[in-house]
Amino acid sequence: MLYYLTKRLGLSAVVVCLVVLVLFSLLHLIPGDPATIALGPRATPEAIARYAEKMHLDEPVWRQFMIYVANAATGDLGLDVFSDRPVTAIIMERIGFTLALVGTGMGWAMLLGIPLGCLAAVKPNSWLDRITGVFSVGTIAVPSFLVSIWALLIFAVHLRWLPAIGAGEPGDLGDQVSHLILPAFAIGLSWVGYLARMVRASMLEVMGENYIRSARAFGLRPRRVIFGYALRVAILPTITLIGMGFGGMISSTVFAEIIFARPGIGKLIFDAVTARNFPIVQGAVLVATGLYILVVLISDILIAWFDPRVRESL
């Protein structure tokens, strides 16, 4: 296990380095001088020179890269172009909102999608199964920004049940939760469909296994057979899917956060890209990558926890 963790963390570090390299290259592939790009066409030559020196832009590219990696390793992701505040601090302010959104979105999708998939698989071709099938395909097909806009129009503008924009008053939990509902609904909806389909497919396969027949032949209750035996095995591929899904969801928060004007990583990246605030873009993408790698690692460890055969092969 320790060996496995070491190996995985080592590999993760390599992936992060590659991501930094790609980000860095992109910045330097954009034609023109980074300082001019960052400060815009109307910046004075003095300002550009000052900026270039502060950002080590006068150094060779490989040195810039080394400096960035070395700083990033100590948690220093550079300074915001406009406010001069540390990028790390800005990201930390915002990341909570994104995590809350992604967690809630995936959370409700799991709570609904997994049982739906189970029930559909237990009674294949029943009306529940058919409805689940149509619902899954429907929700997967509709992009989340469309769901966001419709949800906003119906529940916030038309019915006025829920607030439309922002993340709620700091400190007021009820207000924050009510601001979370619509965006979480929007980004989670297609995942209900994904999860239901995935769980249904693997449950159908597992329900045909000999050990499920054994459990039924020993007279166990159907609920025990389905949730205690079949789901325990069928959930394993779904865990991997959820792990990878978190990554996809972080990118879909960009839309949700823009539409609902929520302060989060997605909105931060969008604003930074529009304003050509590259230190922020770099830092935020790096943090998002790190989060993604972490979640995938956690999902792999969860699988090992559920399946003794995987656990022992680590």
Contacts with other proteins, residue ranges (CB under 8 A): 3, 209-221, 224, 228-229, 232-233, 306-309
State the Cα–Cα distance between residues 180 and 174, nearest whole angstrom.
10
State the Cα–Cα distance between residues 5 and 312, nearest whole angstrom.
13
State the Cα–Cα distance between residues 152 and 183, nearest whole angstrom.
9
Amino acid at 174: G
CB of 210 to other proteins, least distance (A): 4
CB of 247 to other proteins, least distance (A): 27
Complex with other proteins: residue 239 or 288, whichever CB lies closer: 239
For residues 264 and 97, is the Cβ–Cβ distance under 8 A?
yes
What is the token pair recorded at 236?
């394993």
Complex with other proteins: residue 270 or 306, whichever CB lies closer: 306
Query: Quick check: helix, strand or coil at residue 41?
Result: coil
Complex with other proteins: residue 14 or 73, whichever CB lies closer: 14
Complex with other proteins: residue 190 or 202, whichever CB lies closer: 202
Complex with other proteins: residue 175 or 307, whichever CB lies closer: 307
CB of 212 to other proteins, least distance (A): 8
Q: How many helices (H) and strands (E) does the chain have?
A: 14, 0
Amino acid at 16: V
State the Cα–Cα distance between residues 142 and 76, nearest whole angstrom.
39
CB of 296 to other proteins, least distance (A): 21
CB of 240 to other proteins, least distance (A): 16
Complex with other proteins: residue 54 or 221, whichever CB lies closer: 221
Query: Quick check: helix, strand or coil at residue 86?
Result: strand
CB of 7 to other proteins, least distance (A): 8
* Residues sharing a CB contact under 8 Å with residue 16, sequence separation 6 or more, in sequence order: 286, 289, 290, 293
Other C-beta atoms closer than 10 Å to the C-beta of 113 total 27
What is the token pair recorded at 180?
């979370």
CB of 228 to other proteins, least distance (A): 7
Complex with other proteins: residue 76 or 209, whichever CB lies closer: 209
State the Cα–Cα distance between residues 87 and 47, nearest whole angstrom.
20
